[in-house]
Amino acid sequence: MENEIGTAAGKVWDILSKKGPLSKSQVVKFSGLSNSMVDHAIGWLAREGKMSQVDTPRGKALSVKK
């Protein structure tokens, strides 16, 4: 399971790195991952200090720290 979450975290990081801040639902849509797996990936990236949350006109969005 750890490898699967690590792979998902890499995919989420890549999407956010290329597209900029996105909502969680947009990350799910662009990644093709399940809601649960995106949650795991976000947790992985947050634990590594690579994830941040930003305010946008439409609400909160996920972003990566480069």
The ranges assigned to domains in the chain are: 2-64
Torsion angle of alpha carbons 31, 36, 40, 43, nearest 10°? Answer: 100
What pLDDT does residue 2 have? 82
The answer to whether the pTM exceeds 0.85 is: yes
Q: Say what the pLDDT of residue 15 is.
A: 97
Give domain 2-64's CATH number out of 3.40.50.300, 3.40.630.30, 1.10.10.10, 3.40.50.800.
1.10.10.10
Specify the pLDDT at position 22.
96
pLDDT tens-digit series, residues 6-52: 999 999 999 999 999 999 999 999 999 999 999 999 999 999 999 99
Rounded distance between C-alpha atoms, residue 6 and residue 17, angstroms: 16
